[in-house]
């Protein structure tokens, strides 16, 4: 085989290996978009930092991962009323997989309703409300009501 032909095949082989490595590499942590159904828009902690658009007839459900055994709770710390009404008192939805493990993990869930067109930011802190412990996590969402 000639030297030129060997270089050509080596180059093709390198491109094939590069393409195979790219297709086999795990994608950067892909976040699914917020879930939308006939009742409204549902976001979780993985959507933090994003924006959500609501129509006037839709509700916003914010569902944040919680482990009660850590003595931490989610607290709504940034909310200016006017664009949204609420929040309702958060409810706790237990994770069905953790129900038998003795672990009290699940989601703290808030519901908001649009009140007027505009933009508002919701900010939640995850901390122990009975101590001066620093905030363990913060999530926020920009909500646009049309």
Please report, in tens digits, the pLDDT of each residue of the chain (146 residues total).
555 544 544 444 443 333 334 333 444 456 677 888 777 899 998 999 999 999 999 999 999 998 877 889 999 998 888 999 987 688 888 876 655 555 678 899 999 999 999 999 999 999 998 888 899 999 999 999 99
Q: Is domain 35-145 in CATH 3.40.30.10, yes or no?
A: no
Q: What is the widest separation between alpha-carbon atoms in the chain?
A: 77
The DSSP H or E segment spanning 60 is: strand 59-67
Domain-wise residue ranges, the chain: 35-145
Kindly write down the DSSP assignment for every residue of 84-97, as one continuous string.
EE-PPPPEEEE-GG
């Amino acid at each position: 085989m000639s030297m030129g032909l060997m270089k050509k095949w080596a180059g093709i082989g390198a491109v094939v290996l590069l393409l195979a490595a790219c297709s086999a590499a795990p994608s950067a942590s892909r976040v699914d978009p917020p879930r939308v159904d006939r009742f409204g828009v549902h976001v979780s902690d993985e959507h933090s930092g994003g924006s959500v658009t609501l129509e006037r007839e839709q509700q916003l459900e914010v569902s944040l991962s919680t482990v009660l055994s850590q003595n931490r709770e989610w607290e709504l710390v940034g909310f200016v009323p006017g664009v949204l009404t609420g929040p309702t008192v958060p409810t706790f939805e237990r994770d069905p997989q953790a129900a038998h493990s003795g672990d009290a993990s699940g989601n703290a869930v808030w519901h908001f309703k649009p009140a007027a067109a505009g933009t508002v930011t919701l900010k939640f802190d995850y901390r122990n409300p009975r101590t001066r412990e620093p905030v363990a996590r913060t999530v926020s969402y920009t909500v646009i009501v049309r």
